Amino acid sequence: MIKSMTGFGQAVGGHGPLRLAVEIRSWNHRFFECSTRLPNSLASLEEKMRDLIHSHIKRGKITVSISFRSKLNESNGLVLDEEKIDSYIRNIRKIQKKYRLTEPLSVNALLAVPSLFTVGHKEYTAEQYWASVRPVLEAAAKRLVQAKSKEGIALNRDFKKRVGLLTQSLNAIESVSKTSAHEHRDRLKERISELAGQTPLDPGRLEQEIAFLVERGDITEEVVRIKHHLDFLTKSLAGSGEIGKKLDFIAQELHREVNTIASKSQSSKITEEVVRMKSELEKIREQVQNVE
């Protein structure tokens, strides 16, 4: 089943204090391109993240955004800034000595010193970060794929509708071409007779030249090739994997064959159907750009 190249997936999870939120968005792009917005502590994991996402998504412009949902590091308790308190006490002692103050230095006074205590933190290795990030990133990637697949169902439905309309027009062209060939032959004979006037013509040579001209306008080969391309397009829609480029190629081939029919057409009815086919093919080619 085809997948769209546009979608969104998100997930929240992690272990203990390493709880994080992941958002992944994708847009149309000819190749796979992935950019990330990460906390500094996760920068070393960027390549691993790209590889994981690429294992799920083969083509498209991807953006990954990760943020921590709680404090990054777990507190180990309060840590006394000994240098600061030593300096504070030394300066207080100097003041007491200089001004002969006898009031004792209280604990409350020490606690009033700004930033006297700091919070201790645990340090995490890249492996520990990855152990928390990977399952959340994986979940977000799978949800993105689900969204792309859901939109792909709508695209598939639209493609089948377009193929049906193209087939209708092609059948009409084929039907008209069978009768228009004889009409074209008769018109050529009449026109040549008018131009020749009283000049005698070799009937065998005349028939040969008329047959050549009629053959040049024959579209049987183009009709057969278009039928093959439409059949191939239908089968490809039921396939899996990276089929966007294949569909784009088929659409180009269809457009080429329809243009050839237009150049050979001697019938206004065929020309009308060609215009309809070109319109549908243009819509297909636009939609194909959104297929992974």
Is 283 found in the same domain as 220? yes
Which of 31-40, 74-83, 93-102 tops mean pLDDT? 31-40
pLDDT in tens, 140-177: 999 999 999 999 999 999 999 999 999 999 999 988 88
Q: What is the pTM of this model?
A: 0.67
Characterize the bridge pairing of strands 18-27 and 60-68.
antiparallel
Domain-located, residue 34? yes
Torsion of CA 273, 276, 280, 282, to 10 degrees: 110
Domain-located, residue 269? yes
pLDDT of residue 266: 74
Is 137 found in the same domain as 18? yes
Q: Which amino acid, residue 127?
A: E
Domain-located, residue 2? no
Number of domains in the chain: 3
Is 29 found in the same domain as 110? no
- Full domain range(s) for residue 87: 75-121
pLDDT of residue 204: 63
Is 279 found in the same domain as 166? yes
What contacts 165, CB < 8 A, 6 or more positions away?
A: 276, 280
Domain-located, residue 232? yes
pLDDT of residue 73: 47
Is 187 found in the same domain as 226? yes
212 by Cβ neighbours in 10 Å (0-12 / 13-18 / 19+) ranks as: exposed
pLDDT average, residue stretch 246-259: 94
165 by Cβ neighbours in 10 Å (0-12 / 13-18 / 19+) ranks as: middle
CATH code for the domain of 144: 3.30.230
Is 131 found in the same domain as 114? no
Is 80 found in the same domain as 66? no
Is 135 found in the same domain as 11? yes
Cα 92 from Cα 77, distance rounded (Å):
28
Is 196 found in the same domain as 133? no
Is 142 found in the same domain as 22? yes
Is 97 found in the same domain as 15? no
pLDDT in tens, 203-213: 665 566 555 55
Is 179 found in the same domain as 189? yes
pLDDT average, residue stretch 59-84: 75
Domain-located, residue 189? yes
pLDDT average, residue stretch 219-234: 93
Domain-located, residue 1? no
